[in-house]
Structure 1
Amino acid sequence: MAAEGPEEPVLTGRTGRLAQLTLNRPRALNALTRPMVRIIDAALARWEHDEDVAAVVITGAGERGLCAGGDIRAVYEDARTGGAESPGFWRDEYLLNARIARYPKPYAAIMDGIVMGGGVGVSAHGSVRIVTERSAVAMPETGIGLVPDVGGTYLLSRAPGELGTHLALTGRVVRAADAVLCGLADHFVPSELLPELHTAFAATTTGDLRAAVRPYEQPAPEGDLADGRPWIDACYSAETIEEIVGRLLDHGDPAAKEAAATVLTRSPTALKATLAALRTARRLATLEEVLDQEYRASCAALATHDLVEGIRAQVIDKDRTPHWSPADLAGVTEADVARFSATPPGGALGAADRS
């Protein structure tokens, strides 16, 4: 693979008619920065009109995962000093997510290892999404005071039944079979076969990556969300977070009570804003409309106590004991939730206007 120097945060290259993107911050679990987003976007724009490129594949450097999400340490520092930088990062990132979803050439993502937050954004909107036995996929934003973004509420709102609501509120990690069930991935390939799959991708002359993956695809190890559908659908179909938690606690399945305990550790404000966002996303027709909504929510979160506190507890100090404000669901008002739908001071994202 011809590529730029190893110091580059994203390596770009070509093998035959296959263009390759490699997220190259393995020590940071390939967390996305704004320069990385811009490199990816520029490469995709260039390859879109290059007749010698038939398809694109994205992978992550190192052994731990494709991408752990956006660089939330940078968001933390920005939020503490006025929040001037993060809206620009999110604007670029969400428009990249829209580009990936509408890309006119096959776009494959190797979702091996950790794939969370922004990592879902650069993979799950692709046309060929591959998971392995090492895949760990999640949208954990409610644990840091955010609403799932990068098109996450679009994807999760379209998962079967209330599976997406369950994943969005708890931030639960899913493995290969459950990622496929929820519509976050398409194919399971054992990690030991990935080198052969890469060779097959590189040998394609037509760009038909789905045909290339078929000889390596296998049934994924069994997940557990399908068996949990009865309690998940029954509990998460409630209209409010309080009702959802009540149903989970009253349900006889131990997994429901475990889910309730997890939900109650998340930011109360983020939980209510997330439920509202998911219900709205179900009614919106396009990914771009949902990205516009998520941009409003992310910019609103930037001005909250919970975003800084959540990142502090989970990533900076790692004490895992955030002190939310309001501290409980009862303290979150309708006005608090409505702020997540307000147009940001810097203006709207406008993704729907570009589509």
Structure 2
Amino acid sequence: MKHILSEIRSGVGFITLNRHEALNALSLEMVNELGRLLSIWKANSSVQAVAIRGSTKKGPFGNFCAGGDIRFFHMAGCSGDNQLDEFFTAEYRLNHLIFTYPKPYIAFLDGIVMGGGMGISQGASLRIVTERTKMAMPETNIGFFPDVGGGFFLSRCPGNLGEYLGLTGQLLIGNDSLFAGLADHVVDSESLDQLWKNLSDSSIRGVDDRLSHLKSQLENQSPVESWPKWWDGRINNVFAMNSIQEMVDSLSNMGEGWPAEVLSVLMQRSPLMLHVTLAQIRRARTMSLADDLRMERVLVHNCFYTEHLGRSGVTSETVEGIRALVIDKDLKPQWNPSRIDQVTAEMVEPFFESPWSAEKHPLSDLV
């Protein structure tokens, strides 16, 4: 079965992610095919816009993309498979291509939109969510960091919301993603099929007119303004603090309710990768997208090749996190170090040290 379905109709390139048995998680083959299609359509003057959606076993929509194939990450991390390097280089190139795409790129983000799914949608001209959308960057849950340009787009969320989302992996439901600046419009999921069909409606002459019609339809479905259920006014104060330890200490002193819930989440994460993630988002705030992706490519190398920690890749935080969550499913990762106060700057800084010279970096040509 083909995992990427594509066609061109009336000047629009349509893409459907079709690996629904894995919630459309991205494989290397899918990443390569998306990159190939978008590059061809970029150069094809008859393709004036691109639309992308996911699917479930019931048909189109329902889920967008649950991220990368983390079972593959675990297997490759344990075996030293060089396809891991190939995957992340190709994926980050795809992310850059989408963010810099010269034609309208419309992402229909119904259902699950996580990790790698964010990487192929946050650069869209229009990011359309529904009441069923479940959006997150949950990488710290597996001892990883929010990649695929996560440093870039999370650091540009309002205030210090990006630090909160990146460190906790907070789930955004429907309207929440608009509040966070990670979506442009929310619509009723029942309207998706018609909106998709309208993009190739030959009775509306010209792709530009169809896009204008789509935007007017989206504006007519504007949601009622509301605060997310998880929002707390103390987020900006806590997550603006200089260190993970200060954040944890502050939450500990705030009592029950929201502070205790957030503290509980942070205490389940890899202490080391919390520190790496905070540094990543803070550094990315002043970076271009290309520089952020180059930094993340260094980070991902150092997550799986952990000689800088005196460990093998098999004992990396990421391999251990995936083991505990999806392989053995014991939900008891053995983080190293096990406590936040045991993490030192000397442990964190090597994650940002490139194994390549600037000229040899696999993403050196991105601008």
TM-score normalised according to structure 2 size? 0.90
Once residues 225 and 20 of structure 2 are traced to their aligned partners in structure 1, the CA distance between those partners, rounded to angstroms, is: 29
Once residues 288 and 46 of structure 1 are traced to their aligned partners in structure 2, the CA distance between those partners, rounded to angstroms, is: 21
What fraction of aligned residue pairs are identical, expressed as a percent? 39
Other-structure match for 1:313: 324
Other-structure match for 1:303: 305
Q: Could you say what secondary structure the match of 1:21 adopts?
A: strand
Q: Could you say what secondary structure the match of 2:157 adopts?
A: coil
2:266 corresponds to which letter in structure 1?
V
Once residues 277 and 107 of structure 1 are traced to their aligned partners in structure 2, the CA distance between those partners, rounded to angstroms, is: 27
Shift in CA distance, 210/36, structure 1 to aligned 2, threshold 3 Å: farther
Q: Residue 348 in 1 paired to residue 352 in 2?
A: no
Once residues 282 and 253 of structure 1 are traced to their aligned partners in structure 2, the CA distance between those partners, rounded to angstroms, is: 32
Query: Given the alignment, which residue of 30, 44, 51 partners 1:36?
Result: 30
Once residues 223 and 151 of structure 2 are traced to their aligned partners in structure 1, the CA distance between those partners, rounded to angstroms, is: 25
Q: Could you say what secondary structure the match of 1:13 adopts?
A: strand
Contact 2:93 2:363 in 1 (8 A): no
Between 68-77 and 254-263, the greater mean CA deviation after superposition: 254-263
Once residues 256 and 136 of structure 2 are traced to their aligned partners in structure 1, the CA distance between those partners, rounded to angstroms, is: 23
1:206 corresponds to which letter in structure 2?
V
Other-structure match for 1:282: 285
Contact 1:145 1:270 in 2 (8 A): yes
Once residues 45 and 246 of structure 1 are traced to their aligned partners in structure 2, the CA distance between those partners, rounded to angstroms, is: 49
Deviation at 1:159, TM superposition (A): 0.3
Matches within 5 A, 1:52-71: 52-62=46-56, 64-71=62-69
Once residues 3 and 164 of structure 2 are traced to their aligned partners in structure 1, the CA distance between those partners, rounded to angstroms, is: 33
Q: Could you say what secondary structure the match of 2:117 adopts?
A: helix
Deviation at 1:220, TM superposition (A): 3.4
Contact 1:163 1:225 in 2 (8 A): no
Residues 276-306 of structure 1: CA deviation (Å, up to 9, x unaligned): 011101121x111111111111111113521
Deviation at 1:64, TM superposition (A): 4.3
Q: Residue 219 in 1 paired to residue 196 in 2?
A: no
Listed as ranges, the gaps of 5+ residues in structure 1 are 1-6
Deviation at 1:83, TM superposition (A): 4.6
1:354 corresponds to which letter in structure 2?
L
Other-structure match for 1:3: none
Deviation at 1:343, TM superposition (A): 1.0
Query: Given the alignment, which residue of 263, 266, 290 partners 2:266?
Result: 263
Between 59-68 and 161-170, the greater mean CA deviation after superposition: 59-68
Q: Residue 174 in 1 paired to residue 175 in 2?
A: no
Between 290-299 and 77-86, the greater mean CA deviation after superposition: 77-86
Other-structure match for 2:184: 186
RMSD across aligned positions (CA): 1.9
Shift in CA distance, 155/319, structure 1 to aligned 2, threshold 3 Å: same
Shift in CA distance, 225/239, structure 1 to aligned 2, threshold 3 Å: farther
Query: Given the alignment, which residue of 123, 136, 139 partners 1:138?
Result: 136
Matches within 5 A, 1:1-355: 7-62=1-56, 64-203=62-201, 205-207=206-208, 209=211, 211-217=213-219, 218-220=221-223, 224-225=227-228, 228=231, 230-251=233-254, 254-284=257-287, 286-304=288-306, 305-344=316-355, 347-351=360-364, 353-355=365-367
Listed as ranges, the gaps of 5+ residues in structure 2 are 307-315
Q: Could you say what secondary structure the match of 1:67 adopts?
A: coil
Deviation at 1:147, TM superposition (A): 1.2
Q: Could you say what secondary structure the match of 2:297 adopts?
A: helix
Contact 1:108 1:209 in 2 (8 A): no
Q: Could you say what secondary structure the match of 1:308 adopts?
A: helix
Once residues 62 and 241 of structure 2 are traced to their aligned partners in structure 1, the CA distance between those partners, rounded to angstroms, is: 37
TM-score normalised according to structure 1 size? 0.93
Shift in CA distance, 223/295, structure 1 to aligned 2, threshold 3 Å: farther
Once residues 73 and 235 of structure 1 are traced to their aligned partners in structure 2, the CA distance between those partners, rounded to angstroms, is: 34
Contact 1:306 1:324 in 2 (8 A): yes
